[in-house]
Structure 1
Amino acid sequence: MPQQDSAHAGRRVCVTGSTQGIGLGIARAFARSGARLVLNAHIPDDGGALAQLSGQAEAHYVRADLATRDGCRALIAGAAERLGGGLDTLVCNAGGFFDTPLDQLDADALDRTFDLNVKGYLYCAQAFAEQARPGASIVLIGSTNSLAAEKDSVAYDASKGAVLMLVRSLAVSLAERGIRVNGVGPGLVETPLTQAGLDRPGVRARVTSQIPAGRLGQPDDIGGAVRFLASDDAAYITGQMLYVDGGILAQQMSWSPA
């Protein structure tokens, strides 16, 4: 089990899409650092996330649909209310994948993808910036798909490419308010959302063989990177996307026949 620390002791942190998978891994990382947390999802209950964090940190749950501007503003207002003031850190993680083969991609799937993966990040950041505490930080969750395309993933790839530029643009726009903005781009991480694909015959072994680190990512791998970027140790880092991918983006195609 990762060691406890106090790097974020007492800090007020909101993590969107944080009841499972990568979001829950991020919340666990902040809980170990002594942060006060607000978790979020669009479902009526927290799915057991609060119970999992019980004993590690003060944690609350705010249900909100982040595909709408009103939902984003309600989340930030609810988080500030529960934690008793302005927030120190916002982590935008809630996202979706609604892709189909290119010739079947329609306006509905494209709109759903950008409403949640891009507009939701922007609207949450806007609301957060209005009441953020001094030295506040935003971390946006991108993807290796921000830089490298995947077949039949046009809408998702485009949305994550937009997140990369959103990190940079928000960092420039919010710098004068003392708010840092960075991103973390996960590679292939084992979560409930990727489980079905990984469980298909031969897929797990095939994709793992293409990762230089020799294993799939885990949610806690992402949590540690996010926690660092939100910490005082990263006080001079803004506008950057940190790829946590086991080396996927570092390599060219393999010529090995194996």
Structure 2
Amino acid sequence: MAVQERSAQGRCVCVTGSTHGIGYAMAEAFARAGARLVINSHLPDNGALEKLSALTECHFIQADLSTVEGARGLVAEAAGRLGCLDTLVNNAGTFRDVDFEDLESENFERTFDLNVRGYLFASQAFVKALGPDQDNPSIICVGSTNSLAAEKNSVIYDTSKGAVLMMIRSMAVTLARRGVRVNGIGPGIVETPLTRKGLDSGDTRRILKAQIPMGRIGEPDDIGEAAVFLASSGARYITGQMLYIDGGILANQMSWEEQQ
């Protein structure tokens, strides 16, 4: 942990969609590692600003990243508040899938506007805001195991996360000569305020845990320190990669035995 603390000390980080859940856990991990922060939501800060300000310098910017103007504006304001930005963490996302027969263009547009377009234009603004001699700038995009493995009745969300995976690779190749690293984190099933209702529905929690090799649902804190590592000098030769944090879900073949 000491290496991570030194590598993030004083570095300037913007984490989108970061007032709760995975986004907040990543922001908190950066704060504990000594980074200066901008957090974001399209809603009020939900007390996150006060909690993180007890750990580090932290600013909250309310912005809707589903619009190009919102994405670009957030990054520009974040760089202005902190003086520069060393790392952008694209995390803000949404899930709007319904039964396949009931899908409408609005479901598609609202999902892709935030999950894909928001990531792209926030990243573009980040690169434009970089100084000429900035050390180890990086972009981290939060994807999902759904970028590689499909989920029933999740066609639009799965497709958006597949797009994020290719965006990471393409931006990494495009920006490498400019010294900008681009990587992703692909969470599996993680308990957050957004997923808790579904996990607590019927026997869902037991059924899912039985299929995860490590035998438990993920927690937001499982994601946070991975983000700090990917932004650190310890990851200076890592780009174009998606780090899946899923308790072994993607590594697991179908079992011939009844799961306990």
Rounded Cα–Cα distance in structure 2 between residues aligned with 1:217 and 1:228: 18
Q: 1:161-214: CA deviations, max 9, x gaps?
A: 000000000001111211000000000001001011011121111101111111
* Secondary structure in structure 2 of the residue aligned to 1:28: helix
Q: Is the 8 A contact 2:76 2:129 kept in 1?
A: no
State whether residues 10 and 35 of structure 2, in contact with CA within 8 Å, keep that contact through their aligned partners in structure 1.
yes
How far apart, CA to CA, are the structure 2 residues paired with 1:7 and 1:22? 21
Matching of residue 69 in structure 1 with residue 86 in structure 2: no
In the alignment, which of 103, 109, 114 is matched to residue 105 of structure 1? 103
SS class of match (2:213): coil
Pairing 1:1-258 to 2, within 5 Å after superposition: 5-43=5-43, 45-84=44-83, 86-133=84-131, 134=134, 135-258=136-259
Unaligned 5+ segments in structure 1 are none
Contact between 2:20 and 2:48, CA under 8 Å: does it hold in 1?
A: yes
Question: Does the 8 Å CA contact 1:6/1:32 hold for their aligned counterparts?
Answer: no
Secondary structure of 2:37's aligned partner? strand
Q: State the alpha-carbon separation in 2 of the partners of residues 232 and 5 from structure 1.
A: 11
Deviation at 1:6, TM superposition (A): 3.0
Amino acid at match of 2:138: S
In structure 2, how many angstroms separate the alpha carbons of the residues matched to 1:119 and 1:30? 25
Report the TM-score, using the length of structure 2 for normalisation.
0.96
The count of residues paired between Structure 1 and Structure 2 equals 255
Which is worse superposed, 34-43 or 219-228?
219-228
* Cα offsets for 1:32-87 (capped at 9, x unmatched): 110000000001x2110012213211100011100000001110111011112x21
Paired amino acid for 1:238:
T
Q: Distance in 1 between matches of 2:201 and 2:81?
A: 42
For 1:7 and 1:211, the matched residues in 2 are separated by 33
Q: Which amino acid aligns with 1:74?
A: G
Identity across matched positions, percent: 60
Other structure's SS at 1:201 match: coil
Cα deviation, residue 256, structure 1: 1.1
RMSD over aligned Cα atoms: 1.2
SS in 2 for 1:218: coil
Q: Deviations over 1:114-166 (max 9, x none)?
A: 00000000000000000124220000000000000000000000000000000
CA distance in 2, matches of 1:250, 1:52: 36
Q: For the residues of structure 2 that align with 1:132 and 1:91, how far apart are their CA atoms?
A: 15
Taking the aligned partners of 2:258 and 2:22, their CA distance within structure 1 comes to 34
TM-score by length of 1: 0.96
